Amino acid sequence: MRRPEDLPRPAAPFLGFARLLRSHAFAIAPEQVTSFMQAVTLLGSRSMNDIREAALATLAPSPDRRGEFETHFRAYFYSDAKPSIGGKEEDETRVKDERGTRDKENQTARQEKGGELSSALEQLSSRNFQRDADELGQFRRKLASALPARRSFRTTRTRSRGALDLRRSLSEIVSADGDIPSPLLRRRQAVSRKLLLLIDVSGSMKLHTADYLKLAHAAVQGADRAEVFTFGTRLTRITSALRIRDREQALARAAALVDDWDGGTRMGPTLLAFLSVPRFSAFARGACVVTLSDGLERGSHAELEIAMRRLSARAFRLSLASPLAGDPRFRPETAALRAILPALDDLVDGSSVKSLTDFILSLARPAPAAASIWKRIS
């Protein structure tokens, strides 16, 4: 998206309005912004109502956020006093990503806030990870071949059970002066699906966070394509830190990146923040998404339900690994868990590293939907 100073002066306010909406977690793609400015050009700017109608038609706010959209429109174009929608700035969900140098990426994260949503009771702290024996070596070695695979559009040569490679076969005939050799075959390659880990680092998950981060490091080292995010009151991408081969160094780097260790829980807003950034939500498309959390959402669970349904629509398989499920008496009876259960493919035990590694290594095997399993148990 172009910067406002690079545009003609009359067009800059419309791009600025789109940036304002994105900074408040409206999911707006660059193509929609382009369509918005084209619609304004087509309708003309004879009245503010024309601009408003163009914005509604192209930026397409969801019905439940229509009132918030109108508030931002009047505040931006009419200079009305803007009410506090999400609380104070320090209480908003923030997105943090490390790619390249820290200073440059912190600036990028500030510019690409696409998921700022209100949250409360944020508590920032740091975390140290102690050295221990490596128990995840076998999991790391098996992971790449154990993940579900999909057919790629790329092809590779094969001696049997493939389609005729007409171009190479004709080339061989020409090079052999018209002799007809055995036909050359090709088949589509199979590639492993992406693995996306979303790790809850709030206070209620404090006893499990260290094990989850070690598991995430092994996953990034073992899988062909893996992404890891942490969430509590903020959303932080730590994949680049976990690419460091030495686990202690990688976890120390991740600990420095995450600011909201052992704080409050805003699962719904942070997952919506993840989905509101196109580059992040693309990680979930066709991937195995495993959320490591107890699912104990504070306050309304409406945002969590929306986020889970959107994740389910993008992902190949959506799973929730809860440490509470390790108790035989556990049942998904909270309002939040009942609301998101239909969107889940799996609701499994996340209380130990062994149960998690066994589950992730079994993702390629089909299983009944989580709702049907827990309905029978209940």
pLDDT digits (tens, 9 = 90+) for 158-186: 777 777 777 777 787 777 776 766 778 88
Q: Is the pLDDT of residue 47 over 60?
A: yes
Q: Tell me, what's the pLDDT at 350?
A: 94
For the structural domain made of 91-134+193-377, what CATH number should be given? 3.40.50.410
Give the closest residue to 298 by CA, choosing from 342, 337, 263, 267: 267
Most confident option among 59-63, 138-142, 294-298: 138-142
Mean pLDDT of 130-143: 75
d(CA 53, CA 61): 12
Q: What is the pLDDT of residue 89?
A: 42
> What average pLDDT does range 60-83 have in this prediction?
75
Structure tokens, 178: 């018209």
Structural domain boundaries of the chain? Answer: 4-85, 91-134+193-377, 152-191
Torsion of CA 27, 30, 32, 33, to 10 degrees: 110
Give the per-residue pLDDT at 132: 47
The Cα–Cα gap between 131 and 135 comes to 12
According to the model, what pLDDT value does residue 163 have? 79
* Dihedral, CA of residue 146, residue 196, residue 205 and residue 362, to nearest 10: -20
Say what percent of the chain tops pLDDT 70.
81
Q: What is the pLDDT of residue 356?
A: 95
- Residues paired with residue 97 on neighbouring β-strands, in sequence order: 237
Q: In this predicted structure, what is the pLDDT of residue 57?
A: 85
261-306 confidence digits (pLDDT tens): 888 888 999 999 999 999 999 999 999 999 999 988 876 789 999 9
Least confident of 90-99, 150-159, 245-254, 341-350: 90-99
